Chains A and B, each alone.
Chain A
Amino acid sequence: MNELEDIKLKALLQSMKLEKPDPGFSAMVMNSIFKESNALEQIKAQRILGKGFWIILALFLLLAVVVYAMGNAGIQPEGKLEQLVPGMENGIQSFTSRIGTIPLSVAGILIASSVLLFIDRFISSNSKLFAH
């Protein structure tokens, strides 16, 4: 086939009218896109971590700080806590020693479970995002 024939075929094909979709097609596509866009915006705007998570985390951190402070400095000077609440110092010491005896594997399981629960919650709350 020579080049001239190819050019003629090209001109002929470009004169061909393509099939057109219905007149409202463009508007229909744009409506769907706007819907999708709004849904994605809503997902983005949603907070991944709820209020409950932050409360629990704050309480946990507070507890950790209290345990640390009492273990190191809080109870040492003149046993003030023992004076305020008799028996409290022994209780805390017993509690911290018990925590210390938890095997590492149990702690690992607890942490892994928490992480899995968090991932599950994250995925289920963003199911639309992961569906695409």
Chain B
Amino acid sequence: MEQKDDIYYIEKVLAGQTNYFSYIVERYQDVVFSIALKVLRNRDDAQEMAQESFIKAYKSLSSFKGTAKFSTWLYRITYNNCISELRKRKIHFASTDDVDLKDEAEEVNLDGIPEENRAKAIKEAMDRLPEDEYTLILLYYFEDQSVEEISKVTQLSESNTKVKLFRARKKLYTILNEMMKDELYTIL
């Protein structure tokens, strides 16, 4: 359904009805902006980068063949733009391992997080992930993209994507575990 809708708008834009591109912008602006914000860590820069990504997508729209999802194609443009910007600024793309991975991290009880705090907790945990892992988790769980699609966005091999995704998920659980422990200590 989503795919059909995207193609409908793309065809309209390619037929000269540029204003239909606004539907695409509205639909994907949050994810595009979130990726840019995570990588660039500054709202203004992220907004500029998101804008650039949409303009680039618009200009290259005729080269979109439709073999992959439009969202995959757009996220790839965004991700590449952000990485190029970091390279220009000579900032290293963080893929830090500042969170220790523990075996018990796998056993986090998600139901143990109070329902009213879940959205906030998961956002905080996501914010603590490094850029590449944040993007992987966002695309896999939030955007429902397959490993194959994510590998196209990040230009990693599928097996590498799987490994990184596994590690990212484990790290997310570790962070959530720590947050739950901290909360428990606060209550006690």
Contacts from A to B (Cβ < 8 Å): 1, 5, 8-10, 12-22, 25-26, 28-30, 32-34, 36-37, 132
Give every chain A residue within 8 A of B169 (Cβ-Cβ). 1, 9
Interface of B is mostly: helix
Contact B110 A18 (CB under 8 A): no
Q: Which residue of B lies closest to A35 (CB)?
A: B55
Contact A15 B55 (CB under 8 A): no
Contact A13 B110 (CB under 8 A): no
Q: How far is the CB of A39 from chain B (nearest CB, A)?
A: 11
Contact A33 B55 (CB under 8 A): yes
Taking A30-B21, A33-B21, A34-B18 as contacts, is the C-beta distance between A25 and B142 under 8 angstroms?
no
Q: How far is the CB of A106 from chain B (nearest CB, A)?
A: 44
B91 at the A/B interface (Cβ < 8 Å)?
no
Taking A29-B54, A33-B18 as contacts, is the C-beta distance between A12 and B26 under 8 angstroms?
no
Q: Which of B33-70 contact A (CB under 8 A)?
A: 33-34, 37, 46-47, 50-51, 54-55, 58-59
Give every chain B residue within 8 A of A8 (Cβ-Cβ). 110-111
